[in-house]
A and B are shown apart, each in its own frame.
Chain A
């Protein structure tokens, strides 16, 4: 089905010949080597991957990272160009169902033996196994996990309205929201980017019923999409959209940090990375309260976001050796501790001890909730962060959600209809 034609193969060999610069040819052929493409080039993401590279080098490998700065789309353009010119990287960043989609256009490496040797399949959330071993074989490895369904409440805003505990249900959340609105505080502190808008709906649905989320968003089950839980999520989203600043425009949520910290905006629904951002902006752990976002059925749920590496097949033996070495390292506890320690994410492994001071209480709580959610079958995959559906379906769904959030004339019922329609069009 894909057009890996004779022409492509010819070009591939040509490109390989060209890329054999004297420098590379002169290198010891046996030393394990990887070429890596990611979008992580700056900030703590950049720091973390650099540390991983260092670890790889210390283990005797040659690390050639080629970051593609910018949006994920830019990284995918680069990857596409490399594959088209017959020179795929040994390893590249890719996430969610795109792993399955891209694995059809170029051959990948079978990592089953590596995973088995590390006993990794027993300590990874089952949702992640499906994504990273899409056709029964491991071809990619998750690197770090974030919980999307986290809530962050401004301490100053909470003090003003006398709130001392996080809302456990959406009813409690709404009660706090009413109080804040009455006190002249903007109850919802989210920004206006597309993924942010879509994520609010996603967190609402996950908080109402993870089972309905699984059916509607992950399985695109028509009945569930038209069901009462999804409608309730739309109703909750409408409530929150009216509580958002009318001036969010397409601003990143971080634009509104000053407002949040001053207590002029109250509650932010956002993944665990927020902690690092607050820290960088000079705020303390005591400036806000954080924990899981409201969950109506009382049991912990976990809306998963995971970054991952996909391993592309290369003939060169040094690449093959490098790929297996990197796979081994990525699955190790010490690597995961180091990586998550830098980015503020959670380790992929559910059997880690997080008492080390590199981790914060928020990370410990979230990590424990991942384990509990996996046991209770309440772990789901994030829509807005491209974990639940391939990009074309995600984009269509997010478009209809964004329209709903920003256009207050659309009723929840109508919003639900439009979502169903959008899904039907791309199914």
Chain B
């Protein structure tokens, strides 16, 4: 039994090392100077630690004529991502519950159509979104981006929640309905307390997806209002010039921090036993 445990830890550690490989390259590069990288190759140990890369990335770098680093862009991303994540998760849970437990006429059709939404490719939706935002007067605004991400996210969040709630016994619903509990009362009192594991999954999905989205962020926001992905691209892509990999790597790490934070903090909601006190 002990040797199986040991083997288990060895396998997990090896896998973790494999998964960490690209991060290691980025982390090492974040401490290297441009000169070092172009003198010694893209992968390698730093010759001298260039901590300056981080302060550069955070507050010094010139992006779009403003030499204020990615600081402001991080804030833009927050302002867009947090509301969009929360709103889409809330409605996803509500719809998932309505479809799987409350049930209504045509619910399966509705579910089918909403689920199809996850498959629509970004490229195809760009022009229609331009037209919709234009007609709503939301072009070039954060509200417009939030709207896009809520509507698109609804397909995912509904799918996740519905498939999780299907596992909740119908008896619970019946008992609650007999007690005279209404739609919202059941949602708040019974369904939500059972939901933490799936809610953290949907939040992870929505938060990372919206945070890293690039095409819409660049097209529908302007200049200093753009999300951080735009700033990252600004550092990475240039035909005529060599990218500034050192500073860029530092910027990538900073930009990934909020998402990693969500993963770590969300972790505790994964614990088994939260689901039903009665089980223990």
Contact surface of A with B, Cβ cutoff 8 Å? 11, 14-15, 18, 41-47, 49-50, 53, 65-71, 74, 77-78, 80-81, 84-87, 146, 195, 252, 254-255, 257-258, 261, 271, 273, 276-277, 280-282, 343
Q: Which of B34, B218, B223, B233 contacts A281 (CB 8 A)?
A: B34
**Residue B48 at the chain A interface, CB threshold 8 Å:** no
Chain A residue numbers with a CB within 8 Å of B226 are 69
> Which of the candidate stretches B12-20, B79-87, B88-96, B132-140 sits at the interface with the other chain?
B132-140
Bound Cα distance from A67 to B131, whole angstroms: 22
Q: Are A67 and B39 interface neighbours, CB within 8 A?
A: no
Could you list some 10 contacts between A and B, CB below 8 A? A41-B64, A67-B223, A67-B234, A70-B237, A74-B215, A77-B126, A80-B130, A81-B139, A85-B134, A277-B240
A65 CB to closest chain B CB (Å) equals 6
Q: Are B241 and A70 interface neighbours, CB within 8 A?
A: no
Bound Cα distance from A69 to B215, whole angstroms: 11
Q: Are B239 and A281 interface neighbours, CB within 8 A?
A: no
Q: Are A281 and B219 interface neighbours, CB within 8 A?
A: no
Bound Cα distance from A44 to B238, whole angstroms: 10
Q: Are A258 and B139 interface neighbours, CB within 8 A?
A: no
Q: Are B62 and A254 interface neighbours, CB within 8 A?
A: no
Q: Which of A15, A195, A281 contacts B38 (CB 8 A)?
A: A281
Q: Are A44 and B241 interface neighbours, CB within 8 A?
A: yes
B250 CB to closest chain A CB (Å) equals 14
Chain A residue numbers with a CB within 8 Å of B238 are 42-43, 45
Chain A residue numbers with a CB within 8 Å of B63 are 41-42, 46, 69
**Residue B171 at the chain A interface, CB threshold 8 Å:** no
B39 nearest CB neighbor, chain A only:
A258
Bound Cα distance from A46 to B241, whole angstroms: 11
Bound Cα distance from A49 to B65, whole angstroms: 8
Contact surface of B with A, Cβ cutoff 8 Å? 34-35, 38-42, 61-65, 126-127, 130-131, 133-135, 137, 139-140, 214-215, 218-220, 222-223, 226, 230-231, 233-235, 237-244
Q: Which of A18, A71, A280 contacts B242 (CB 8 A)?
A: A280
B131 nearest CB neighbor, chain A only:
A84
Q: Is the interface of A mostly helix, strand, loop or mixed?
A: helix
Chain B residue numbers with a CB within 8 Å of A71 are 237
B57 CB to closest chain A CB (Å) equals 12
Q: Are B234 and A69 interface neighbours, CB within 8 A?
A: yes
Q: Are A252 and B218 interface neighbours, CB within 8 A?
A: no
A330 CB to closest chain B CB (Å) equals 18
Q: Are B135 and A67 interface neighbours, CB within 8 A?
A: no
Q: Are B65 and A67 interface neighbours, CB within 8 A?
A: yes
Q: Are A14 and B241 interface neighbours, CB within 8 A?
A: no
Bound Cα distance from A80 to B219, whole angstroms: 9
Chain A residue numbers with a CB within 8 Å of B241 are 43-45, 273, 276-277, 280
A53 nearest CB neighbor, chain B only:
B65
Bound Cα distance from A343 to B234, whole angstroms: 17
Chain A residue numbers with a CB within 8 Å of B239 are 195
A42 nearest CB neighbor, chain B only:
B234
Q: Which 10 pairs of residues, A with B, have the shortest CB-CB distance?
A: A69-B234, A281-B38, A254-B242, A273-B240, A282-B35, A85-B134, A70-B233, A41-B234, A67-B64, A66-B223
Q: Are B240 and A271 interface neighbours, CB within 8 A?
A: yes
Q: Are B65 and A77 interface neighbours, CB within 8 A?
A: no
With contacts A45-B241, A282-B35 taken as known, whether A65 is within 8 angstroms of B134 at the C-beta atoms is no
Q: Which of B62, B126, B130, B235 contacts A85 (CB 8 A)?
A: B130
Q: Are B230 and A281 interface neighbours, CB within 8 A?
A: no
Q: Which of B62, B219, B231 contacts A78 (CB 8 A)?
A: B219
Chain A residue numbers with a CB within 8 Å of B140 are 85
Q: Are A258 and B41 interface neighbours, CB within 8 A?
A: yes
Supplied contacts A42-B63, A81-B219, A257-B242, 18 more A-B pairs, CB within 8 Å: A15-B139, A42-B234, A45-B238, A46-B234, A67-B65, A67-B223, A69-B63, A69-B231, A77-B218, A78-B219, A80-B127, A84-B127, A271-B240, A273-B241, A280-B241, A280-B242, A281-B38, A282-B34
Q: Which of A18, A69, A254, A277 contacts B137 (CB 8 A)?
A: A18
Q: Are B139 and A85 interface neighbours, CB within 8 A?
A: yes
Bound Cα distance from A405 to B131, whole angstroms: 41
Chain A residue numbers with a CB within 8 Å of B64 are 41-42, 46, 65-67, 69
Q: Which of A14, A41, A84, A273 contacts B130 (CB 8 A)?
A: A84
Chain A residue numbers with a CB within 8 Å of B231 are 69
Chain B residue numbers with a CB within 8 Å of A46 are 62-65, 234
With contacts A11-B134, A45-B241 taken as known, whether A65 is within 8 angstroms of B62 at the C-beta atoms is no
With contacts A41-B234, A67-B65 taken as known, whether A254 is within 8 angstroms of B39 at the C-beta atoms is no
Q: Which of B39, B42, B134, B223 contacts A15 (CB 8 A)?
A: B134
Q: Which of A41, A42, A258, A343 contacts B40 (CB 8 A)?
A: A258
Bound Cα distance from A235 to B241, whole angstroms: 30
Q: Which of B38, B131, B222 contacts A282 (CB 8 A)?
A: B38
Bound Cα distance from A261 to B41, whole angstroms: 12
A63 nearest CB neighbor, chain B only:
B65
B117 CB to closest chain A CB (Å) equals 22
Bound Cα distance from A280 to B35, whole angstroms: 7
Bound Cα distance from A11 to B139, whole angstroms: 11
Bound Cα distance from A65 to B214, whole angstroms: 20
Chain B residue numbers with a CB within 8 Å of A343 are 240
B239 nearest CB neighbor, chain A only:
A195
Q: Are B130 and A281 interface neighbours, CB within 8 A?
A: no
Q: Are B242 and A86 interface neighbours, CB within 8 A?
A: no
